[in-house]
Amino acid sequence: MEKIMQVYYKLYEIYGPQGWWPIVNNKTLLCEYHNNAPKNESEALEICFGAILTQGTQWYPNVVRAIQQLKLGRPFKKQELEVITRAEIRQAEISGNGEKVTKKAILTQNTNWKNVEKAIIQLNKNNLIDIEKILKINNKKLALIIKSSGYHNQKAKKLKNFSLFLIENYNGNINEFFNNSVKKLREELLSINGIGPETADSIILYSAKKPIFVIDAYTRRIMGRVGFKEDTYDGLQGLFMKNLNNNGLRSKCRLPSICEHLISFERTRQGGCPSRGTNEVGARNRNRKVCGFLSMSPCANYNQMRTDGNPKHKRDFERSHNNERLFNEYHALLVELGKNICKKKPLCSKCPINKMCNYLAAFKIF
């Protein structure tokens, strides 16, 4: 359906690339986007833990705090929390001004940072983003560390259930687990007590980097207001999966393919790119690092596929990779719209897609 892609293009034009999944930096404990994560097994596991912890709560500050404390191996002390909070505010200011976020820039207005740094030095020893350490730690202690994420006793058990599954079935090797097909990954994730469809799909899309569309509360709310009638998880997911298949974008939407659109964005981002606009949203996105999928050679696997002499391998990989990046960006853009604009009480006058919205038309909000 053309409307689905119109929503995507408009959100991308306004908000720019989102760079999900964010990773907590091991040296600063600050949350960073646009790192093309996961780049290693530790980051893949961090994303899995984050997907479990984000159940029923918001990413910042609740889940971010939980992951930061998992990396410390203990809860923040009061002074440490105050310093980290000020550092995050400073990080947002620097990013919003289009400047590069560096440790030095954060320290200039955060003289107590060294107190936190002393704790971070112990990070490698105490870091709980580790399957075996999660299984060894006492349940009550783990629950206390992730308390900020809500439902902490239940989520502590879920983290242990997931870790135990990997140990028992894949000898703790998450990369071996991710070598499975999307179908098998989803079936096995859903067999783990405490992991439902949204969490399973988040792990597959963001950590395994395989194409499946995540349906969350923001997606259901936005697409319902825009006018789509699908009201079940599977129904709404099927709508996206069917109509966003990269192989059929041209014929169904009569719009450029996702790769062409994004490459065009890359070529013009230093000029008249909409995300560099003068409005508040444009200012926030100014000088953002563009995601790695704007490259026509996104990873080593692509180059291998391109030169192995089998055109079917190349087509299959390109289609899968392009769909994964499209699903990633689209879902992240819907989250951005949902948490800031399309709330339970929507800010319709500020919504970039209000002209497509049935909710606005029905209630004549402005």
pLDDT, one tens digit for every residue, the chain (366 residues) = 688 999 999 999 999 999 999 999 988 888 998 888 999 999 999 999 999 999 999 999 999 999 999 999 999 999 889 888 988 988 888 776 656 655 555 555 555 656 666 766 666 678 999 999 999 999 999 999 999 999 999 999 999 999 999 999 999 999 999 999 999 999 999 999 999 999 999 999 999 999 999 999 999 999 999 999 898 999 999 999 998 865 444 333 333 444 444 444 444 443 333 333 334 444 444 334 333 333 323 333 434 434 445 554 444 444 556 789 999 999 999 999 999 999 999 999 999 999 998 877 666 554
What pLDDT is recorded for position 116? Answer: 66
What sign does the CA torsion over 25, 27, 28, 29 have? positive
Residue 105 Cα distances to 23, 31, 41, 87, 286, angstroms: 20, 15, 30, 10, 18
**Nearest to residue 209, comparing CAs of 178, 163, 250, 233?**
178
User: What pLDDT does residue 265 have?
Assistant: 44
Burial tier of 150 (Cβ tally within 10 Å: 0-12, 13-18, 19+): middle
Distance CA 147, CA 53 (A): 10
Are 12 and 329 in contact, with CB atoms under 8 Å apart? Answer: yes
Tell me, what's the pLDDT at 94? 75
Count CA atoms within 13 Å of residue 311 on its CB side.
Answer: 0
**For the whole model, what pTM was predicted?**
0.81
Q: Both tokens of residue 275? A: 């995300």
SS3 category, 35: coil
Long-range contacts of 75-79 (CB under 8 A, 24+ apart): 75/144, 75/145, 75/147, 77/119, 79/112, 79/115
- Please report the DSSP string for 204-258 in residue order: IIIIS--------HHHHHHHHHHT----SHHHHHHHHHHH--GGGHHHHH-S--H
Domain boundaries, the chain: 2-17+216-363, 23-155
Q: Record the tokens describing residue 366, joined without a space.
A: 């402005």
Q: What is the pLDDT of residue 109?
A: 52
Q: Helices (H) and strands (E) in the chain — how many of each?
A: 21, 2
Q: Which residues of 26-50 are buried (b: 16+ CB within 10 A; e: fewer)?
A: eebbbbbbbbebbeeeebbbbbbbb
Of the candidates 267, 284, 334, 326, the one whose C-alpha atom is nearest the C-alpha of residue 275 is: 284
